[in-house]
Amino acid sequence: MARQRVFGIRLNPGGALTSVATALWLAVAAALPAAAVKPVLRVGVVDGAPPCSYRDAGAWRGLAVDLWNRIATREQLPYVVSEWPSVREMLEASRDGRLDVAVGCINVSPDRLERYRFSLPFQEDGLAVMVVQSRLDLGRSFLGALLTPTLLQLLGGYLLAIGVLSLLTWRVEDYAQQPQTLSGGRLRVFSKVFQVLATGPGSNTLVATTRGNGVVLMAYMVRIVSASLLVGYLTVNVAREVQGTASGGIRSEEDLRGLRVGARQGTVSEGLLNELNTDSNDAAITIVPVTNIRAGLDLLMERRIDALLGDNLQLSYLQLHAEVKGLVPSLALQGIRPESQAFAYSPRLPVATAERIDQSISQYKRSGLVSTLRQQATELGSTPRR
C-alpha cells in the first residue's frame, strides 16, 4: 500500500504551484501507481487573522489551520496551501473552483450562505468593537466619579450620624466631669470619642453603662450600613463611569455612526458597517480598511481610527497580547450578531470528500479537540513572532 503524505506547500497568491513544488509533486506522483495517487486539494488561507490563521516564522499557525491539519492527517488528504489577500477573494476563489477548501474562521452569514458552500461549522463567534484610552483619561474618569455630590453626601451623612452618637455618648457617660476631660481638655477627649466610634476598634473602652453600650451598638450599625452603601455606590457608579470612558462612549452599534471604524476587507465586519450606513440617514461611518487585525490596533494607537470592528475571538486575542505603552485597549462591545464559523468548499469538491471532512469536524468537536485548540490558540505563549 502506498504511503500517503500531507503536503503544506506554499503557493503564489494566484494559486499556481511554484516550479520546485511542481517538480516535487510530479516526481512523487510518477513513482506511485496511478490508482494510489490521490487528488491534491488546493487549500487557501488568509494571513493576519490570529488566533485563527497567521504565518509565524514562515509556517502557518492558528486555530483553523491546526484543525485543518488534524483533519487532513486523519483523512489522508494531500494538499497544497496558497495565501490570499482577503477573505472575500478567497471565498470567490473557492466558488470559482480555483480553490477546493478555504480554511479560516469564516462566518457563515445569511448572504454568504446563499453564495458559497460551507463545511460543518466548528464554532460560533460574534463581532466585537475595540477602542483604546490613555491611562490618564481613565484616572481622570475615576477621580471624577469619586468627587460626585452623591458620594460626598453619603460621607457627610455618615460623619454627621457619628457626630450625633459621639455627643450622645458624651452625655450618657458624663465625660464632662471625668478626670481625663478635666486634664486633657474637652475638644481633645471629644475628638477621641468621635474617632473611636467612627473606626470601631476600642469602642468597648469608651463606655461603662448599659445605655452607653447601646450607643456603641448603634454606632456599629451605622458603620455597617454606611459601608454597604459606599461599596454599592462605588461598585455601580464609579465602575460604570470608568467603563464608559474605557469604551469610548460606545454602548451599541448605533454609537459607531460618525466615527472612523477599521475593519478587514471582505469580512462580515465590513458588511455590518456598510449595512449601518445604508439603513440610516444619520452621520455615516467612515470605514477604514485594515490589512490585518494587528494593523488595526496600530491605527487605534495612532488615533487614525476611533474603533476597530472584528471577530470577538480575534479582538480578545489581540487585547491579551497587545503591547501598548500608556494606552489601555478594551472591548467596548462584544457578542454582536453571533454566527457559526466554518471552512468554505468549492462547488466542485466531491461530495464524498466533503462528507469525510465534515465527519472529522464533528468528531473533533465531540471529543473536545476544537475547544482545546481554541484555548491553546489564545494562550499568552502563542504570540506569533513578527
> How much is the pLDDT for 347?
97
Q: Is the pLDDT higher at 269 or at 182?
A: 269
Residues sharing a CB contact under 8 Å with residue 51, sequence separation 6 or more, in sequence order: 62, 63, 313, 314, 317, 374, 377, 378, 382
Residues sharing a CB contact under 8 Å with residue 117, sequence separation 6 or more, in sequence order: 94, 95, 344, 345, 346, 347, 349, 354
C-alpha cell at 180: 481625663
Residues sharing a CB contact under 8 Å with residue 68, sequence separation 6 or more, in sequence order: 43, 101, 103, 343
pLDDT tens per residue, range 10-45: 444 444 333 344 444 445 545 555 445 578 999 999
Say which CATH topology domain 132-136+249-337 has.
D-Maltodextrin-Binding Protein; domain 2 (3.40.190)
Q: Is the pLDDT higher at 335 or at 28?
A: 335
pLDDT tens per residue, range 53-105: 999 888 999 999 999 999 999 999 999 999 999 999 999 999 999 999 999 99
Q: Is it the case that residue 216 has pLDDT exceeding 50?
A: yes
Label residue 138 by pLDDT band (50, 70, 90).
low
pTM over 0.75: no
pLDDT tens per residue, range 106-115: 999 999 999 9
C-alpha cell at 37: 495517487
Say which CATH topology domain 9-124+340-382 has.
D-Maltodextrin-Binding Protein; domain 2 (3.40.190)
Is residue 51 reached through a cis peptide bond, with omega within 30 degrees of 0 on the bond before it? yes
Q: Is it the case that residue 319 has pLDDT exceeding 70?
A: yes
Q: Same CATH fold, 132-136+249-337 and 9-124+340-382?
A: yes
Which H/E stretch holds residue 219?
helix 210-233
> How much is the pLDDT for 23?
46
Domain range annotation of the chain? 9-124+340-382, 132-136+249-337, 142-246
pLDDT tens per residue, range 271-293: 999 999 998 778 899 999 998 88
Burial class of 383 by CB neighbour count within 10 A (0 to 12, 13 to 18, 19+)? middle
The amino acid that residue 257 corresponds to is: R
333: helix, strand or coil: strand
